[in-house]
Structure 1
């Protein structure tokens, strides 16, 4: 037997499915603009970016985004440390608006970057008046905060930098990443409460999941909060591609995560903490930045959120907050010459392509892309057999010649138009022609970053 609330939930889901199918049928009967292959290429390549590096374990990266929401709720950022040989790559998937994801994408890298600076060096930098220094070289960053909010953020960052300086620790990278995540989330809360405005509150009340990779030499750390995903592509002894999933999605499909959240609240709430596969029946990710409507005490919500957003901002059965955390799950992997690339993406990609499919696609893209360039011999002595193998691989790559130079674009193209018979232009063109009020029913924002490792460097550094 089902309770009345369960019956209502089931009827609600059935109603959503009927509305979806009805909308789909109406849309398919409606003529839509036909996009040419050139039109499709233009749309898919609008946000793509590639960056090469010339030393260290990271050889290059490709990134791209395809919006579904307008404005797009996904964000991404990449940076290199100015005081170490490390690189940072992040993908951020926002919800309830783009504000939190946009802010996290720009600020989190700085919080991690300053954490990596040795305390003595950091102290000298701060004594020289470098509170606003980023400690990073950012790539493909074309957006700045408005002056009104920039000052608030700089004040918070300066406090964190000085805290690190006055409280030196021997923390490992995992702890540094955890502390940076939690400190930024806490700062977002304090900024909204101490400097309440439309901007600070919109960041605090919207939310974002995050997946950040820190790569320094052979050390790869992945810090994940929410349901973005990171996948490692490697080769086996026989040259076959191998897929390693480096993240766990923090959602209702993760049994351990559900048990963790339920255990943090009284037994009387075991049926309401996660209901309808969502936190308090509302939020899909079970960890996230922002979303302070699931973190603040009731009195703070009444004083700060209700006047602006209404009584509905307080969820049903909201008795023992916080119900949500930004605390990341950190994975450490030692890179070897067998590791070839890392894929980080929002769930807009993983909803339609499996980690194994993504790995295979990037592997094929690498093979095909190599054919497009002049053959280059390694910077070492090579045998005739090795040269013959390189020539054979180039011949193999000819049939896999990709449409896109950018591997992230290659993945997005296949996410939209892939089939058992290859890419279907009509399928891609259709999905890219969907009107604004319908597109979200068919696909989510997609953000992808593919990081390529220099296995020659790795082979000589181990």
Structure 2
């Protein structure tokens, strides 16, 4: 890639119009009651997280370009990494990391343990049109799912609790919802609990529970705007911005050997499997909802009149604007024209209504649900936003994590395999370890390892110059070369899965 020709690069990755995106972001500031910590109106973010590339120092000095050093590159790459170990169950541990391209980052992630039922939830959320929708979904969705998974007896027990214990235990939770929105969201969740009680059954269907909870949260994003407007004719700019921005989501629910994946949009989940010949195989679980998915195109065409066939999908985008063909939020493509004219146009102008907007809704948040029974051959799961998958194939990602698994053992002290080991055996062990150290990765965290190779990888390894260049770009330019990246690598316990009954 020629880094000097940045000006000729077209920003093909942007998912919404730049000027409109700026107007959507400005909605937060019109409320007039926001400080620097909660400038997005929904979440307090501490300054040590989700920073932009403030370590940047690619400058011209005496005609010589000064690149980021390897140490500075590593500081940037590791800033948001996290890992968690588990003592029991099919999930042994997970690594996660995020690297911004936008400022602020529009991706987010969440990992949680269900408290009243067994099972782990892992999710990646890729926002567009601003970070608001992705941030709110990451804070609310797993609570909805955990409630939907409760059988009737536990649901009734939970509702009677005073005070109620949390339904989930989240890990690496970096943000809090601001108080005024928390009250709104708690009210919506209580309405959902009442709905679940009214239709509760003793037997819980996990697939339908995942669909119902995701659709319910998406409906609540709309109702939280329209309910207030119908009640008193006013609009809460914070809830409106959440509804107008959007997010795609990919999440997994893992309970013993049973794994369910729910996908809305163009994030992906891939399993790394080792076959009988000790070769790595990549099993892509999900299928993107974009124009490369012909079944998805047919679905949209069939939902609208034949005369809209040429306008509903233009330039490989929904109505010529939106790249993912399913998402949460994005009510510019779901509300009817009258609602958009009354609520949105006065705030952000006529462009709020997309061209050729005749038969809404054009967009749905309904997820595809995939089931996979884990086997001892399944070693790990990679869930990532399209920022990673734009840069590497599923098989490349699986091989990189597989190599990382082999090499990361050298981050730990040497443990002798048995007592009273002979000197010759010890020498052979040390020589083998010395030779194997050549494959020791730079990063202990597998998500960081993937991001490093996604940005700086070549067929000959990681190119520091390329990595330093791309990490040094300002957000305006960086977005033309790559998207935000969010990666979670979930490791399975092969021995536990081996003991699970068939």
Q: Please report the TM-score for the alignment, with normalisation by the length of structure 1.
A: 0.89
Match of 1:160 in 2: 192
1:104 aligns with 2:104: no
For 1:89, which of 109, 112, 122 is the aligned residue? Answer: 122
In 2, Cα distance between equivalents of 1:142 and 1:18: 34
Deviation at 1:391, TM superposition (A): 9.7
Deviation at 1:193, TM superposition (A): 1.1
Query: Over aligned residue pairs, what C-alpha RMSD do you find?
Result: 2.4
Give the 5 Å matches for 1:89-238.
Answer: 89-130=122-163, 133-169=165-201, 170-195=203-228, 196-238=235-277
Match of 1:429 in 2: 468
- With over 3 angstroms needed to count, the CA separation of the structure-2 counterparts of 1:429 and 1:441, relative to structure 1, is same
1:408 aligns with 2:461: no
Q: Alpha-carbon deviations, 1:79-126, whole Å to 9, x = none? A: 001122200000000001000000011111111111122221121121
Q: Please report the TM-score for the alignment, with normalisation by the length of structure 2.
A: 0.82
In 2, Cα distance between equivalents of 1:337 and 1:163: 39
Match of 1:309 in 2: 348
Match of 1:6 in 2: none
Match of 1:350 in 2: 389
Is the 2:282–2:394 contact (alpha carbons within 8 Å) kept by the matching residues of 1? yes
Match of 1:8 in 2: none
Deviation at 1:127, TM superposition (A): 1.2
In 1, Cα distance between equivalents of 2:434 and 2:6: 50
Deviation at 1:408, TM superposition (A): 0.2
Give the secondary-structure state (helix, strand or coil) at the position aligned to 1:208: strand
- With over 3 angstroms needed to count, the CA separation of the structure-2 counterparts of 1:375 and 1:327, relative to structure 1, is farther
- With over 3 angstroms needed to count, the CA separation of the structure-2 counterparts of 1:21 and 1:293, relative to structure 1, is closer
Give the 5 Å matches for 1:263-274.
Answer: 263-274=302-313
1:67 aligns with 2:100: yes
In 2, Cα distance between equivalents of 1:179 and 1:71: 31
Give the 5 Å matches for 1:445-460.
Answer: 445-460=484-499
Give the secondary-structure state (helix, strand or coil) at the position aligned to 2:188: helix
Q: Alpha-carbon deviations, 1:365-400, whole Å to 9, x = none? A: 00001233246699xxxxxxxxxxx99996774332
Give the secondary-structure state (helix, strand or coil) at the position aligned to 2:241: helix
- With over 3 angstroms needed to count, the CA separation of the structure-2 counterparts of 1:201 and 1:52, relative to structure 1, is same
Give the secondary-structure state (helix, strand or coil) at the position aligned to 2:169: strand
- What is the aligned residue count? 433
